[in-house]
Structure 1
Amino acid sequence: ISKFLDEILPDYKLLNEVFDFSPSAENVAKWLYERVKERYPTVQKVVVWETEDCGAEYSEV
């Protein structure tokens, strides 16, 4: 999965310039979940961390 994430995630770029949506942690978690689910249908949730103590998760349940 690490290799797949390297393919779809931008590296050292401003997310506001990469995505056509507001790149909040919540929105990035949903976007990432949808991409990962296409390749790995058994994924249950995605968690995006902004800091050690603050993040957002997305799942369909």
Structure 2
Amino acid sequence: MAVVSFVIPDSLYLAMKQAIEEEGYASTSEFIRDAIRLLILLIKKRQGELANLNEQQVIMEV
């Protein structure tokens, strides 16, 4: 496990907070972890690496 610190623009922070409330995430950390998993999934799909994997398998690997 790693600890990461970064700065985001206010507009992105507000959009994130709204999504957290609307989707019912328990915490900002949970939302960010899910967002990173989805980004990795999108990148792998774009690269064509998911030919034999379903989305849940990829998410569990991340």
Question: TM-score under structure 1 normalisation?
Answer: 0.32
Query: Relative contact order, CA 8 A, sep 6+: which one is greater?
Result: 1
Rg larger in structure: 2
Question: Which structure shows the higher strand fraction?
Answer: 1
More helix by percentage = 2
